[in-house]
Amino acid sequence: MMFAKVVLTIAALAVSTTNAFVQHQPLGVSRTITKSSSLNMVADDAKVVLVTGSSRGLGKAIALELGKNGQKVIINYVSDGSADAAAATVEEIKAAGGDAVAIQADSSDPDSIKKLFAESVEAFGTVDVLVNNAGITKDGLVMRMKPAQWQAVIDCNLSGVFYCTQAFFKLASKKRTGRIINISSVVGQIGNPGQANYAAAKGGVIGMAMANAKEFSSRGITVNTVCPGFIATDMVDKLDEAYLETVTAGIPLKRLGKPEEVAGMVRFLALDPACDYITGHTFNVDGGIAMGA
Ligand code: NAP
């Protein structure tokens, strides 16, 4: 009886920690490699995952989720002041059994992104999964929004996704396999006053992902988008408390989301075998605030 219980537990663990990717063979035959990314070590079939903007907030939670799952993670940040936080995340992942490096790069600068990918390849040989997460806000009502405010958000949140996607495609198209996960926002689906720049960028990401999914499908590369609602990070901390209370009252689940809840969705899209057949879609992790969008 005891033995049966142990066997069952081991079987359950093997299922829950399994990850797979369809490897596209030259003859068009798909071979699914499954391997248990067992506890406290880098998985034999570890994917190299680049998470832009992963020194803090959602990006950090995503990096930790994948790193602790035995993957090799590239932590990216832009500010000098975030170097220590990025290094600490690298150590946390290594201590949990994954592998990681931290690389500083500015997603709004195409040359910086080329360098980011070159250094990533130098570190881990390739990039298998790209999580386009880096993002900023520079809120203001339309009548008062300065061109620099508009442009900075478009450059980082929209053009940055394009530069990273283009650099990733150059690598992944040769291998005929790869996954891109874009972090957009409910604001790109339903809008928000004071965020014309952010809504335009995030809505643009959803459209770009669908175009990319159609363009890249023949190369075995999938592209999906995650739309978080209001999640407790530095970005939401900046919002006015009274406004946040009103927003929370309008969330069907009546609370802010946790970064780990978004990270769980990204882990599924990045690693689960089912996602070999999911592309061009948008998944909300938003407590229901944008249901039907
Ligand atoms: P956050 O806590 O402010 O963290 C932003 C991250 O992006 C940091 O790691 C930052 O690096 C990095 N970053 C900023 N500009 C960059 C650039 N030019 N190049 C590279 N990295 C850059 O933000 P968050 O709340 O985690 O948001 C992460 C993503 O989720 C964003 O795309 C955001 O729009 C989206 N999102 C967030 C929410 C939410 O409620 N929090 C909701 C929907 C969507 P440094 O530390 O070096 O500055």
Tell me how far the alpha carbon of residue 86 lies from the centroid of ligand 1, in angstroms: 13
Distances (CA, A) of 119 to 75, 127, 180: 12, 11, 19
Is 277 annotated as catalytic?
no
Tell me how far the alpha carbon of residue 228 lies from the centroid of ligand 1, in angstroms: 12
CA 53 to CA 103: how far, in whole Å? Answer: 10
CA 254 to CA 250: how far, in whole Å? Answer: 7
Report the DSSP pairing between strands 30-36 and 18-24: antiparallel
CA 218 to CA 222: how far, in whole Å? Answer: 10
Instruction: Report the pLDDT value the prediction gives residue 44, as an integer from 0 to 100.
Output: 82
| Binding annotation | 53-56, 133, 198-202, 231
Percent of the chain whose predicted confidence (pLDDT) is above 70: 86
Report pLDDT digits (tens) over 146-157: 999 999 999 999
Q: Is the pLDDT of residue 177 over 90?
A: yes
Domain boundaries defined on the chain: 2-285
Work out the pLDDT band at 45, boundaries 50, 70, 90: confident
Tell me how far the alpha carbon of residue 274 lies from the centroid of ligand 1, in angstroms: 28
Q: Is the pLDDT of residue 2 over 60?
A: no
Report pLDDT digits (tens) over 47-71: 999 999 999 999 999 999 999 999 9
Ligand 1, residue 81: give the atom nearest the CA. Answer: 47
Q: Is the pLDDT of residue 203 over 50?
A: yes
| Binding annotation for NADP(+) | 53-56, 133, 198-202, 231
Instruction: Report the pLDDT value the prediction gives residue 185, as an integer from 0 to 100.
Output: 98
CATH architecture of 2-285: 3-Layer(aba) Sandwich (3.40)
Q: What pairs with residue 21 in β-bridges?
A: 33
> Tokens in use for 127?
């990039």
Of residues 168 and 32, more confidence is placed in: 168
Provide the residue type at 181 as one letter.
I
Pocket residue to mutate for ligand 1, from 50, 54, 58, 244, most atoms within 8 A of Cβ: 58
**In the predicted model, what is the mean pLDDT of residues 110-119?**
98
Q: Which of 47, 17, 85 is nearest to 177 (CA)?
A: 47
Instruction: Report the pLDDT value the prediction gives residue 40, as an integer from 0 to 100.
Output: 67
Q: Which of 150, 140, 144, 124 is nearest to 204 (CA)?
A: 150
Instruction: Report the pLDDT value the prediction gives residue 26, as an integer from 0 to 100.
Output: 34
CA 250 to CA 1: how far, in whole Å? Answer: 50
Average pLDDT score over the chain: 89
Q: Is the pLDDT of residue 209 over 80?
A: yes
Tell me how far the alpha carbon of residue 263 lies from the centroid of ligand 1, in angstroms: 14
Instruction: Report the pLDDT value the prediction gives residue 24, as an integer from 0 to 100.
Output: 42
Distances (CA, A) of 66 to 48, 55, 74, 89, 264: 10, 14, 10, 12, 9
**In the predicted model, what is the mean pLDDT of residues 204-221?**
98
Of residues 23 and 178, more confidence is placed in: 178
3-state SS string over the chain? CHHHHHHHHHHHHHHHCEEEEEEECCCCCEEEEEEECCCCCCCCCCCEEEECCCCCHHHHHHHHHHHCCCCEEEEEECCHHHHHHHHHHHHHHHHCCCEEEEEECCCCCHHHHHHHHHHHHHHHCCCCEEEECCCCCCCECHHHCCHHHHHHHHHHHHHHHHHHHHHHHHHHHHHCCEEEEEECCCHHHHCCCCEHHHHHHHHHHHHHHHHHHHHHHHHCEEEEEEEECCECCHHHHCCCHHHHHHHHHCCCCCCCECHHHHHHHHHHHHHCHHHHHCCCCEEEECCCCCCCC
Report pLDDT digits (tens) over 234-278: 999 999 999 999 999 999 999 999 999 999 999 999 999 999 999
Q: Is the pLDDT of residue 84 over 50?
A: yes
Work out the pLDDT band at 20, boundaries 50, 70, 90: very low
CA 168 to CA 256: how far, in whole Å? Answer: 32
Pocket residue to mutate for ligand 1, from 104, 106, 117, 136, most atoms within 8 A of Cβ: 136
Instruction: Report the pLDDT value the prediction gives residue 128, as an integer from 0 to 100.
Output: 98
User: Which listed residue (77, 163, 198, 277) is catalytic?
Assistant: 198
Instruction: Report the pLDDT value the prediction gives residue 3, as an integer from 0 to 100.
Output: 37
Tell me how far the alpha carbon of residue 105 lies from the centroid of ligand 1, in angstroms: 13
Instruction: Report the pLDDT value the prediction gives residue 233, as an integer from 0 to 100.
Output: 96
Ligand 1 site: residues with CB under 6 angstroms?
52-59, 76-79, 82, 106-108, 133-136, 156, 183, 185, 228, 230-231, 233-236
Instruction: Report the pLDDT value the prediction gives residue 76, as an integer from 0 to 100.
Output: 98
